[in-house]
Structure 1
């Protein structure tokens, strides 16, 4: 399964596009659409097309991880919301979350209710993270019309 357009747009809007490396709220070097890793260092700059390629590579990794962790059927919006969540917070946080435990028990509503609980960075509530979690929650709860 791949992230749908709504999910990609949510990630891009939430992350924003930064072509010069910066440290996020908890000090992690970041560039492009929220790309992190050992390749991101102070002073690094990239072009917009490179940011898009980094996003696609990061999405593929996160999509694979979400697919491996979730054991119940998902529609495209549910999958894409979980990819956005994991793109931002990491697959380890999804793996250890009550959200995933409830989802894999088939409690979709209970899982949806967990999104807003993940609104902190560095132990502090962050309004931007709450908005993102609410957008992910809304996407997760949006039926896919065929």
Structure 2
């Protein structure tokens, strides 16, 4: 087996989410062409979601095409990456960038900005930051199996693996 070649870390502005990062987001968000209530918040169902986890302006009864879902995904990824570029102060590898893009896409900019994961990462503690992914596995009703799997995949990608195995 050939040893993995280390990928040099770069500034966040030098990146775009890779095909592997987009595949990770698509896999865990899933494609829904009809709006559905947030499964992590069964009391209110808010926010309503459509496409690949798109929530902006979505209401009960909304529908979309696969093409619209793809366009929303690309736009929403831009918001996630802009957040990473504003808040991450250390160089990243492509896998770290992709994992963070998936994480921010799912938990949101405010939660990421206030997270211990970000604080540890910016302090240069990538091992500690990687361990923080596992803590973000809860919804309003407790631990959600889908989030456990997603965070494990993001952590694998952050640590240099492919990210979809768990």
Does the pair score TM above 0.5? Answer: yes
Structure 1, unaligned stretches of length 5 or more? none
Find out whether 1:69 has 2:87 as its counterpart.
yes
Using the TM superposition, give the Cα deviation of residue 21 of structure 1 relative to its aligned residue in structure 2, in angstroms: 0.5
Which residue does 1:126 correspond to in 2? 144
Q: How far apart are residue 59 of structure 1 and its match?
A: 0.4
Shift of 1:13: 0.4
Counterpart mapping for 1:1-146 below 5 A = 1-25=15-39, 26=41, 27=45, 28-37=47-56, 39-142=57-160
Cα deviation code 1:10-43 (max 9, x no counterpart) = 1000000000001011122000000002x21111
Question: Which structure has the highest helix share of the two?
Answer: 1
Q: Secondary structure at the match of 1:31?
A: strand
Gaps of 5+ in 2: 1-14
How many residue pairs get matched? 143
Structure 1 runs of 4+ with >3 Å offset: none
What TM-score results when the alignment is normalised by the length of structure 1?
0.95
SS at match of 2:150: helix
Q: CA RMSD in A?
A: 1.2
Normalised to the residue count of structure 2, the TM-score between the two structures is 0.84
Displacement, 1:89? 0.3
The separation in 2 between residues aligned to 1:117 and 1:104, in whole angstroms, is 18
